[in-house]
Amino acid sequence: METQQLIALDNQHVWHAYSAIGADLPIFPVASANGVHLKLADGRELIDGMSSWWSAIHGYNHPVMNAALRAQIEKMSHVMFGGLTHEPAVELATRLVELTPAPLQTVFFSDSGSVAVEVAMKMAIQYWHAKGQPTKQRFLTLRNGYHGDTFGAMSVCDPVTGMHSLFSEVLAQQYFVDAPTCRFGEMSGGDEIEPLKQQLEQHGAQIAAVILEPIVQATGGMNFYSADYLRRVRALCDEFNVLLICDEIATGFGRTGKLFACEHAGISPDIMCLGKALTGGYLTLAATLTTEKVSGTISQSEPGLFMHGPTFMANPLACSAALASLKLLTESDWSANVLRIELGLKSGLAPCCELAAVADVRVLGGIGVVELNEPVEMKTIQPLFVEHGVWVRPFGRLVYLMPPYVISDEDLVELSAAVVRVVESL
């Protein structure tokens, strides 16, 4: 198909993420991808600064990943996960239990991060129902958070900045407190945690769980907050007898410099959500892990089972991709590699600190953020990045980078320099 024909048909028929049909926004057809480079249909090559929304941590067209999928597809591409099981799913569940903090012991597979959050919320509600406390059906969360686009997940996103205010009248009403302002690396004062404590004191009988993104509030603002605050949240959940759900969909698998972001605080949640980088960006797959206390209570009480079951859960191809991705990650010196990227981002983005358009520059692990004073104009800024040979997808006031872990120092320098040049032009 000719490029212009493809774009015309795309504009006519295809809805992209957070887009409008016929919006007349620039769109760039990709012909192929290899390593950290996207090759456009017109022949231009771009350094990918987004890891395809933070998932393609090993880059594209990786020979080990490709081989794992070829081997699995010769056996079976899919089989239902009701009454049947298969080795990739069992091996993956076992591996996730080994890698995640104790006492997470049981794994429920689903199709996407949003569904993993739905599953976590249903687990929490069903757990308290089984414990004879059916009034505990609501959730306490942080403003500036984002947990997905399905209805349960939308209800715990920030009601103002979470992109879902249109649906506010039909969403379940949850409890919110202001996000912590104590930055990563700082201690959290008593005043910082007090609003959350007050909500638990007043509404603990209705709250099933606190749900939050540990350390990094991603889509809600790329805020990096204190590990000490997270430790205090864990302690308050224990004190007031509510569960803690950590949404590690964006932060899991090394992105913050720890394998899981909650490890910065030395805590473990009662329920953990994983997705995005789980399969190295090859296929959609998510997982919700919980403790034997939670899973056992649900399983041994009426109705005697957990009330959820996606058609494509534990897809063998996706599980095989996840196993290959985890092997690549854990058998590498991933921690040193993420530190290398962190240092490169700090150095490369530092010139932005002097620019008038910039409010803040912050870096943690493999995440670099340039926060602007004003929201970006996508119709203008997106082509500018492409012209500079990089793929960066800003939103709101945030220009951010989450490159694949395999990015070279040279490409990292070029990627950061392109961000500086584009921001200088604003």
Q: Tens-of-pLDDT digits for all 426 residues of the chain?
A: 899 999 999 999 999 998 899 887 899 999 999 999 999 999 999 999 999 999 999 999 999 999 999 999 999 999 999 999 999 999 999 999 999 999 999 999 999 999 999 999 999 999 999 999 999 999 999 999 999 999 999 999 998 876 778 898 899 999 999 999 999 999 998 799 999 999 999 999 999 999 999 999 999 899 999 999 999 999 999 999 999 999 999 999 999 999 999 999 999 999 999 999 999 999 999 999 999 999 999 999 999 999 999 999 999 999 999 999 999 999 999 999 999 999 999 999 999 999 999 999 999 999 999 999 999 999 999 999 999 999 999 999 999 999 999 999 999 999 999 999 999 999
Active site residue 276: yes
At residue 162, the pLDDT reads 65
Active site residue 346: no
At residue 22, the pLDDT reads 80
What are the helix (H) ranges across 332-408?
334-349, 378-387
Beta-sheet strands, E only, within 111-248: 138-142, 175-177, 207-212, 216-217, 223-224, 243-247
**Residues β-bridged to residue 183:** 225
At residue 209, the pLDDT reads 99
CA distance 238 to 222: 27
Residue 278, Cα to own-chain centre: how many angstroms?
10
Active site residue 405: no
Q: Which two tokens stand for residue 106?
A: 């049981």
Of the residues 146, 225, 282, 400, which is catalytic?
Answer: 146
Residue identified by tokens 């929201």 is 375
Q: Which two tokens stand for residue 386?
A: 């492409």
3-state helix, strand, coil in the chain (%, to 5): 40, 20, 40
Residue 347: CB atoms within 10 Å:
13
CA distance 398 to 369: 7
Burial of residue 382 (number of CB atoms within 10 Å: 0-12, 13-18, 19+) = buried
Of the residues 225, 276, 282, 400, which is catalytic?
Answer: 276
Q: Which two tokens stand for residue 213?
A: 């993104």
Of the residues 48, 158, 247, 270, which is catalytic?
Answer: 247
Q: Please compute Rg for the chain using Cα positions.
A: 22
Domains and CATH numbers, the chain: 3-61+333-424 (3.90.1150.10), 75-330 (3.40.640.10)
Active site residue 146: yes
Cα 265-207-216 angle, rounded to 5 deg: 30
At residue 24, the pLDDT reads 78
Of the residues 18, 42, 191, 333, which is catalytic?
Answer: 18
At residue 396, the pLDDT reads 93
